[in-house]
Structure formats: structure tokens, C-alpha cells
Amino acid sequence: MKPSICFLFAASFLILSCGDQAHNDNELMQGDDIPSDVQSADDGTLEEQAKRHVESTLSIPGTENYSLKIYKEDLDGDDKTDAIITVNRYDFALEEAASQGNTAKRAELGFMGSYNFIFYYDGGLDKISPEIAIPSTPQKELAIAFDHISSSAYKDVIIDYRIRNAKFREFYFVLNHTPRRVFQCKLFDGLGTKSTEAYHVKYVEGTMGIQKDILILNAELVQPQNEFDPLTYEPELKDGKQLIYRFFYHPKLGKYAIMK
């Protein structure tokens, strides 16, 4: 009997997804049809080119204090070093709230908005993509990690981010020179309240191909005893053994789905 498949975002709406936080999966670098705003990185070092590209793309003035970090890894198996470039514009979020006269209200909501971004540098093409906004709480910068999920020959992109007192994770595969979001899940929620939930993630042998299955298991969020900021504090999570969901990569969908 064929497994019953529920698409990721329908399933994750129940307990895992960030709901309204879904952002656009931009068409970044598709073969020869490369958008005009994709820039070559051969003029100077990657660090220098990334700074120019980011400031131009996001219209960042020279006076703005922002964070730019570069995480290098082989992400497509061509033996060329690729990179994920992260940008955090927390100061701009503060200035924007002040200019609108609602700093207190925005602070209460964690200054939610498009103030965290990633850019993808393709080492084989020597080009930097347009921005991908990660709507999140800008008091915390994006956390970038890499792991072998779709292939043992190269790594995939894992992004952790905060939305107020909750934490989420997104997974990207680089397909045809373009980072594609294939899965997202919640890591914890309710920090600083009496009602919390927490999960941990494992990878196991794939059900439908070489891409690993993603397991979501229960975890316990340990509330700190001292006073803390629920928007930025990183709580201890105690991993449990109860399997909540098992997702597998569905090649025809290009995303992870759940088996019921």
C-alpha cells in the first residue's frame, strides 16, 4: 500500500512550521538564465565583493552599522568553495521603529521583520545571488551550519533563527546553482512561559533515495532560574526518544513530506 503523503507545510502547520514566517524561495541562479542582479565576485576578494553586493542590493548607507559574516563550504559537489553570506540589520530595525514612533510596541513584538538575510556565493560560477530574507527577530543573528543530508559528497545548508521566544530551523539544498528551501521545523517555543514545547532533529537513512530522512523527536526545554531575555536566551534542551514525525525527501515535489 502506498504511503499517505502530507505536504510539508500542511503537516508542519500543526506543530512544526513557523506559519506566517514563510518567505519567498527566490529564483536565484538557474543555469544560463541568470538574473541581471546576480553579480560576479571576481573583482577583489569574496569579502570585499560581498560587502559591495550586500550594500548595493539592500540599499545600506555607508553610515549604517550592520553585521556581515561569510560561511564557506562545498555546497554542490563541484570541488569549488561556495559560501553563505549572512547579514543582520538590527540597528536599522531600531532606527526604523524610532522613525515610525512605535519603538516600544516593536520591541514588545521582537522587532519582527526582514532584517536578517542570506546570500549565496556559487564558487563554480563565481557569482553572488540576490538576497533571501529570513523574517525573524533581529536581536539574534542567523546561525549557519552545514551537514551531509542530500549527498555524502558535499554539504547542505542549515539555518537557525529566532522568532520572539521561539526558535526555528530551515534546510536548503543547492539545486541548479540555487539554494532551495526543502524543509523547516520548530526547535522550541514558549520560552519564559508556563507552556513550552521543544524538539530535536536527527537524520537517518533515506526512505526514497540518497537524501536522508529527517526525524523530529521530543525534547524538554529547561527554563532558567535567573532573570533572562526570552528573545535572545539560548535555553538548554534535553533530548527525548519519542518520535513525533518522520519526514522524507520527495524528489518530484523537491521538498520533504511526511509519511502517515
The amino acid at 10? A
Judged against a pLDDT cut of 80, whether residue 74 lies above it is answered with yes
Please indicate, yes or no, if residue 84 is contained in any of the structural domains: yes
Please indicate, yes or no, if residue 124 is contained in any of the structural domains: yes
Among 71-75, 105-109, 220-224, whose mean pLDDT is lowest?
105-109
CA–CA distance, 182 with 160 (Å, rounded to integer): 14
Average pLDDT over residues 4-13: 38
| pLDDT, tens only, 17-50 | 333 333 444 444 443 333 445 555 556 799 999 9
Beta pairing partners, 58? none
Contact 168, 21 (CB under 8 A): yes
CA–CA distance, 170 with 184 (Å, rounded to integer): 4
pLDDT of residue 33: 38
3-state secondary structure the chain: CCCCEEEHHHHHHHHCCCHHHCCCCCCCCECCECCCCCEECCCCCHHHHHHHHHHHHCCCCCCCCCEEEEEEECCCCCCCCEEEEEEECHHHHHHHHHHCCCHHHHHHCCCCECCEEEEEEECCCCEECCCEECCECCCCCCEEEEECCCCCCCCEEEEEEEECCEEEEEEEEEECCEEEEEEEEEEEECCCCCCCEEEEEEEECCCCCCCCEEEEEEEEEECCCCCCCCCCCCCEEEEEEEEEEEEEEECCCCEEEEEC
CA–CA distance, 250 with 156 (Å, rounded to integer): 16
Please indicate, yes or no, if residue 34 is contained in any of the structural domains: no
Judged against a pLDDT cut of 80, whether residue 13 lies above it is answered with no
CA–CA distance, 260 with 255 (Å, rounded to integer): 16
CA–CA distance, 182 with 108 (Å, rounded to integer): 31
pLDDT of residue 26: 43
Please indicate, yes or no, if residue 245 is contained in any of the structural domains: yes
| pLDDT, tens only, 137-162 | 999 999 999 999 999 999 999 999 99
Please indicate, yes or no, if residue 31 is contained in any of the structural domains: no
Please indicate, yes or no, if residue 165 is contained in any of the structural domains: yes
| pLDDT, tens only, 162-193 | 999 999 999 999 999 999 999 999 999 999 99
CA–CA distance, 217 with 207 (Å, rounded to integer): 18
Judged against a pLDDT cut of 50, whether residue 59 lies above it is answered with yes
Judged against a pLDDT cut of 70, whether residue 249 lies above it is answered with yes
pLDDT of residue 101: 73
| pLDDT, tens only, 208-242 | 899 999 999 999 999 998 999 999 999 999 999 99
Please indicate, yes or no, if residue 46 is contained in any of the structural domains: yes
Number of domains present in the structure of the chain: 1
Range of the domain at 232: 5-22+39-259
pLDDT of residue 43: 63
CA–CA distance, 198 with 221 (Å, rounded to integer): 6
Whole-structure pTM value: 0.84
pLDDT of residue 62: 92
Closest CA to 157 of 146, 143, 168: 146
pLDDT of residue 54: 98
pLDDT of residue 107: 65
Strands 236-250 and 255-259: antiparallel
CA–CA distance, 12 with 127 (Å, rounded to integer): 33
Judged against a pLDDT cut of 60, whether residue 6 lies above it is answered with no
Which residue has cell 521530543? 218
Please indicate, yes or no, if residue 253 is contained in any of the structural domains: yes
